[in-house]
Amino acid sequence: MEERAEDLEPGITSEGTSEESRHQHKEVKPWYSGGLKDWIFTTDHKKIGILYFFTSFIFFLLAGMMGMLIRYELTNPGIQLPSIAGQEGADLYNYLLTGHGTLMLLWWAVAVWTGAFGNFLIPLMIGAKDVAFPRLNAFSYWVFLGASVMVLLTAIPGNWIKMLWTAYPPFASNPNAGPVAYYSIIILLYGIAATAGSVNFVATIISMRTKGLSFRKMNLFTHTILGANLIQLFGVPSFLGAVTLLFLDRYIGTNFFNPEIGGDPLLYQNIFWFYSHPAVYVMMLPAFGIYSEVIATMSRKPIFGYVSMVLAIYLIALIGFLVWAHHMFAAGIPDWARVLFSYTTILVGVPTGIKIFNWLATMYKGAIRLTAPMLFVLGGLFMFLIGGLTGVLLSMVSANLGLTDSMFVVGHFHYVLGMSVTFAALAGILYWFPKVTGKMYNEKLGVWSFIFAFIGSNIFYFFQTFSGTLGISRRYADYPNILEWVLINQIQTFGSVLLFVGIVLFLINIIVSLRSGQKAPKNPWHSPSLEWSATDTPVMSNNFKKDHIEIHKDWHPYAYYKGYHEHF
Amino acid sequence: MNQDLISSILDLISKMVFPFLGTTEIIAQPRAYWDNSYTIWLIFSIIFFVGILLVGIYIVIRYRYVKGKNEEGAHIEGNTALEVVWIAIPTILALFLATLSFANFMYQRTLPADALEVKITAFMWGWEIEYPNGKVVSTYFNTEKPFEKDDSEKFYLPVGKKIKVLLSSRDVIHSFYVQPAMITEDAVPGRITYMWFQINKEGEYYAFCREYCGSWHSYMIAVLKVVSEEEFNKWLEQK
């Protein structure tokens, strides 16, 4: 192992002398060195980040395969999926919908940020040796893995959970919904992991910034992770509460949600969406963070209006908690509540508008390098713009009454949470690939995977979004044989195949670059941000050479203009 | 690709994106209020989207990296006046759209006085309708012919008459969506919710269930048979 470390960074081991050098010699191994035992018992934020990344990416691929099976079912009218173990093909479809939704949202769009990207990058960006509670961090990963293994066991036919990730009662108390207890335990484990993680990140970012790194000098990605984890901290308990009450209703005989004995099923929806709506900002905010990082770096410009970008992040996190009832516009809540929530929802457009304009202004008069991460970010912004504008329509209560639970909603959130988040994650993977592995990704494969994914997803989700205006409802295993409806579904499937090819090319890119990528320079993007400028590539296991890194008083993570100092 | 496929895709796009075009008569209410919200949103969105897209494409092409010529970005950290402008414009637009939506919503939700009142009850997986004179018609899912209904299962309704619906459910939450009228309301067990609609043209229309309710959710449809008032009254008297 030590030879490997010297191969990669020959200069470092020669630093220092005698006792001190022996001490340091042990610590300057690259972060990924160490055997299986080391990986299992690790408390290193970088290793835990990568464990999170692999788990989350595998579930992304699995959920993607479920999505392809859903497309297979919908390509033609009729039920195509086979009946398994006495359960109808329609039941398999409902199981796939539940799995696709739960995994894509919780295992991919939330976990990839707070678990993978947050863990690996946040201590590096704020100049810390590790997170505030390293053992809690390891604990949260292994609990998360436990939940993940339980998810895999739901594939056994008798274990199919068929009530969608929302699990609305009283349907959740119906035998047709599948094993509710099993679902509750998965979500509780997930929630324990998420809460432990959010406590850790909030503490780390607030208390472990290196000297001189004020909130006004923090990377926007760090701000978005802080915002996202504050949402988790306040929101997840509400979600866990809803699921626990559901469990008690079903098995202990309490009557929180059961209307037959005086409960109220809409109470569940209120508690559930109080978390689950802000949760979309847990997915979206770090994506915004990545957009900011990549746009500033690739345009060689400081972020335009840094302060308003930061304020917009916390404003979005705050407004996120005031809009949950827009998921219930047609659920029989009072009319005044619908109007009130329509107003608050539509106001979310303001801070997101600020961010879009500021990104454009950041690119203005820049020197824009159209590398693969930048293409993914521009593609993601394009998708976000459509997703945001369709969101405006859905937030208008009068339009919502005609479109709620239609394919328009599905298309809308696939533009935002599907592609905008995924493109940001893929951009982030390529952007920090050299930092993690010490090798460069393959630019050509990166660009081709972007082209396929961008064209495919736009064909797919454009037609999906507007198929709702024709009257096609969501969550349907089958639909009437209307020529338009069949055609529109077949176009979507064509798009989904292109998207699938794009994701496969991306995967090939990662594997090829890991095996035979070019050796990366220390700071391939010439970025003053701490994770690039103050650490080696790949990072050594002690993160920074000194215990306390010092930053110059003029240092800023986005000081990209001509004549900036690379080595603050 | 053959001509037919292209023209049918173009036809499809115009029907999806501009659903309010093509029909001069409004065949159902309160569809007009939905159309109104949708149209104004569409105009606003297209302007906003195309504007940002063009500016974005221009910036990316004009300021792309060129070795030796354009290697470093300018030093611009912000512009307060510009930011105030583009915070103010979306705020005003958002409040305008929300208020417009509020006005339309009032029409969609205000019950008309001279309406025919029916009670519709949902269950897994079917619907039951009760008319003012006590006549009850039920419709169930049928996996053999999922989207066809026998005449005895169709919900007869008089043409051009406002229908007031009191909704409830016997088991889980369902949702009643009258497709031509673009209006939805959930049927919640233990509660009575309401909606109204009116169909102005004779014919058969679908009403779908829109809240997920298990295995045969997609087969939980009701066929609304809209007939002339005389025919409806004759049908209503039959036992």
What is the tens place of the pLDDT at every residue in A173-230? 888 998 989 999 999 999 999 999 999 999 999 999 998 899 999 999 999 999 999 9
| In chain A, % of residues over pLDDT 70 | 94
Could you give the C-alpha distances from A28 to A2, A145, A310, B219, in angstroms and in order?
9, 29, 35, 64
Residue A6's pLDDT is 35
Residue B24's pLDDT band, with cuts at 50, 70 and 90, is low
The CA angle A111-A382-A457, to the nearest 5 degrees, is: 70
Residue B79 has pLDDT above 90, yes or no: no
Could you give the C-alpha distances from A79 to A251, B143, B219, in angstroms and in order?
33, 10, 11
Interface subset of A 409-448, CB within 8 angstroms of B: none
The CA angle B100-A319-A223, to the nearest 5 degrees, is: 140
ipTM score here?
0.93
Residue A18's pLDDT is 43
Record: contact B212-A164, CB cut-off 8 A: yes
Residue A260's pLDDT band, with cuts at 50, 70 and 90, is confident
3-state DSSP call for residue A264? Answer: coil
Nearest by CB: A367 against B70, B91, B211: B70
The CA angle A353-A358-A360, to the nearest 5 degrees, is: 100
Residue A7's pLDDT is 37
| Mean pLDDT of the region B196-222 | 94
Give how far B36 is from chain A: nearest CA, Å.
9
> Beta strands B116-123 and B163-169: pairing type?
parallel
Task: From chain A, pick out residues whose CB is under 8 angstroms from the CB of B37.
Answer: 393, 396, 398-399
Residue A564 has pLDDT above 70, yes or no: no
Residue A10's pLDDT band, with cuts at 50, 70 and 90, is very low
Residue B22's pLDDT band, with cuts at 50, 70 and 90, is low
Q: Give the closest residue to A193 by CA, choosing from A37, A324, A40, A55.
A: A55
Task: From chain B, pick out residues whose CB is under 8 angstroms from the CB of A337.
Answer: none
Nearest by CB: B76 against A365, A397, A476: A365
Between CA A127 and CA A205 the distance in angstroms is: 10
Interface subset of B 42-61, CB within 8 angstroms of A: 45, 48-49, 52-53, 55-56, 59-60
Task: From chain A, pick out residues whose CB is under 8 angstroms from the CB of B65.
Answer: 300, 367-370
Interface subset of B 148-167, CB within 8 angstroms of A: none
3-state secondary structure A17-38: CHHHHHHHHHHCCECCCCCHHH
Between CA A534 and CA B80 the distance in angstroms is: 32
Backbone angles phi, psi at A322, to 5 degrees: -105, 10
| Mean pLDDT of the region A549-556 | 83
Residue A568's pLDDT is 46
What is the tens place of the pLDDT at every residue in A34-50? 889 989 999 999 999 99
What mean pLDDT is reported for chain A?
90
Element (DSSP H or E) covering residue A349: helix A349-363
What is the tens place of the pLDDT at every residue in A395-423? 999 999 999 999 999 999 999 999 999 99
Residue B12's pLDDT band, with cuts at 50, 70 and 90, is confident
Residue B26's pLDDT is 77
Residue A132's pLDDT is 93
Residue A20 has pLDDT above 70, yes or no: no
Q: Name every residue whose Cβ is closer than 8 Å to that of residue B47 and which is 6 or more positions away in sequence.
A: none
Q: Name every residue whose Cβ is closer than 8 Å to that of residue A283 and which is 6 or more positions away in sequence.
A: A105, A109, A110, A113, A417, A421
Residue A22's pLDDT is 47
**Amino acid letter for position B192:** I
Residue A25 has pLDDT above 60, yes or no: no
Record: contact B177-A405, CB cut-off 8 A: yes
Residue A3's pLDDT is 36
The neighbouring-strand residues paired with A336 are none
B15 versus A509: the higher-pLDDT residue is A509
Record: contact A360-B59, CB cut-off 8 A: yes
Q: Give the closest residue to A410 by CA, choosing from A330, A468, A458.
A: A468
Residue A317's pLDDT is 95
Residue A567 has pLDDT above 60, yes or no: no
| Mean pLDDT of the region A350-375 | 94
What is the tens place of the pLDDT at every residue in B121-134? 999 999 999 999 99
| In chain B, % of residues over pLDDT 70 | 97
Between CA A258 and CA A246 the distance in angstroms is: 9
Give how far A468 is from chain B: nearest CA, Å.
8
Residue A33's pLDDT is 86
Closest residue in B to A354 (Cα–Cα): B87
A423 versus A544: the higher-pLDDT residue is A423
DSSP state letter for A520: P
DSSP state letter for B196: E
Backbone angles phi, psi at A62, to 5 degrees: -60, -45
What mean pLDDT is reported for chain B?
90
Task: From chain A, pick out residues whose CB is under 8 angstroms from the CB of B34.
Answer: 398-399, 401-402
Residue A411 C-beta-side C-alpha neighbours within 13 Å: 29
Interface subset of B 127-146, CB within 8 angstroms of A: 146
Residue A566's pLDDT is 52
